Amino acid sequence: MAHSYGASGRGAYSSNLQRFIYKGFSCSTGNMHIIKKDIKRGDVSISVETPDDLWTLKSIISPGDTVRGSTERKIRLGAGKDEKTSVVRRRVTLTITVEKVDYAADGSSLRVLGTIIDGPDDVPRGEHHSFILEPNTQLTISKDWSTYQLRKLEEATKQEQPLIVVLFDREEARLFSVKRRGIQELLRLKGNVAKKGEDGQHITNFYKEIVTELQQRADEHTRIIAGAPAFWREYLEKELPAPLRKRTVFTTISGIERTAIRELLTRPEVAKLIAEHASLRELELVEKALTALANEKLAYGLDFVKEAVSAGNAEQLIVTESALADARQQGTMRELESLMRQCEQNRGAVHVLTSNEARGKIDPLGGVVAIRRW
């Protein structure tokens, strides 16, 4: 963790905060590691392993939480009138009350700013400090945990097989990477349409080019979903070498627009892969919400959502990360979290959408919607 050294602010000493000592920590598994969990006390200690873990934490850590960890800080020595002061940089263990969470634009770090409430005697309480969370750092988060937040943490500890989606026909191919943070288009390839009287050699070359692109990513992306209209899948299937073909699931789609990814979600042959990937599960949930909207069983607009939750009529409450960010900025986070807890208490499921693809469909509806039971 890096550090910041700021002006004094407000803060209070918390003698009841659980202190965790990190002993014998095992080597990285490539996923977030939960070191210790004590939900009764509200304490969860974790090790951040990948940038995807930071993506998860930015929707979990909120103002009012406390965060504890090892960090570097500038310490001022010599505070008396007759003493010369000097500043040294030292590694210390601090606890802060969170005020703000900032996610780096490139996804490489997460900055958690707050006021110091616990630490060594020579570190003034109430001063500001920032933890810069990066892969290979450890911290303890203390809060009143909700079910959806614990579920997000558990999901982050599980290994997701990297996945590529390729959509193609005879004229074009589009490759997408599916990761926890969402779906990213990798590249587009253009093919040549065969003219009357020409042989199909240049078409074959086009599909070989698709295969080449897939092979270049084979080490990183272990599974492939290939979608194509009509019989075009057969051209690619013939060109795929056997090892790659075994890792590929073929399905039929109506076109190769980006929206065809949503169409893939309805195909039973890809159901298992959907269940294994958080961003695809989010898209599947969005499809259910849009179906409920068409059937007049979706509550949207905060007042209508509150009404559904209060009546126990919310089967699934869906909140986008954008709505959470707005609530933090507007100071209404406690109100929104209260709504989410009420839904869970009424046996409703709470989901927070973090992938860009899924959020883009729910944000226009206000960012907070509920699939109604009746």
Q: Which CATH architecture has domain 288-372?
A: 2-Layer Sandwich (3.30)
List all residues 6 or more positions away from 30 whose beta carbon is below 8 Å from its beta carbon: 49, 50, 159
The residues pairing with 246 across neighbouring beta strands, listed in sequence order, are none
What pLDDT does 142 receive?
98
CATH superfamily of 163-276: eRF1 domain 2 (3.30.420.60)
What pLDDT does 199 receive?
56
The answer to whether residue 12 scores a pLDDT higher than 80 is no
What pLDDT does 200 receive?
56
- Which amino acid is residue 241, in one-letter code? P
Residues of the chain with CATH 3.30.1330.30: 288-372
Span 332-355, pLDDT tens digits: 988 999 999 999 999 999 999 988
List all residues 6 or more positions away from 213 whose beta carbon is below 8 Å from its beta carbon: 175, 187, 189
Residues of the chain with CATH 3.30.420.60: 163-276
| Region 217-224 average pLDDT | 73
Contact 285, 320 (CB under 8 A): no
pTM of this prediction?
0.75
Q: How many CB atoms lie within 10 A of CB 124?
A: 13
Answer left, alpha or beta for residue 301, where phi above 0 means left and psi between -120 and 50 means alpha. Answer: left
What pLDDT does 8 receive?
33
User: CA–CA separation, 329 vs 206, rounded Å?
Assistant: 50
Lowest mean pLDDT among 1-5, 77-81, 100-104, 124-128: 1-5
Contact 99, 114 (CB under 8 A): yes
- Which amino acid is residue 141, in one-letter code? I
| CB burial of residue 83 (10 Å; 0-12, 13-18, 19+) | exposed
Q: How many CB atoms lie within 10 A of CB 218?
A: 15
Residues of the chain with CATH 2.30.30.870: 33-156
List all residues 6 or more positions away from 151 whose beta carbon is below 8 Å from its beta carbon: none
- For 33-156, CATH number out of 1.10.3720.10, 1.10.287.110, 2.60.40.3140, 2.30.30.870 equals 2.30.30.870
Q: Six-digit token pair at 146?
A: 């909700």
The answer to whether residue 249 scores a pLDDT higher than 80 is yes
The interaxial angle of helices 147-156 and 333-345, nearest 10 deg, is 90
Contact 370, 314 (CB under 8 A): yes
What pLDDT does 4 receive?
38
Lowest mean pLDDT among 156-170, 277-291, 297-311: 156-170
Q: Chain-centre distance of CA 14, in angstroms?
A: 31
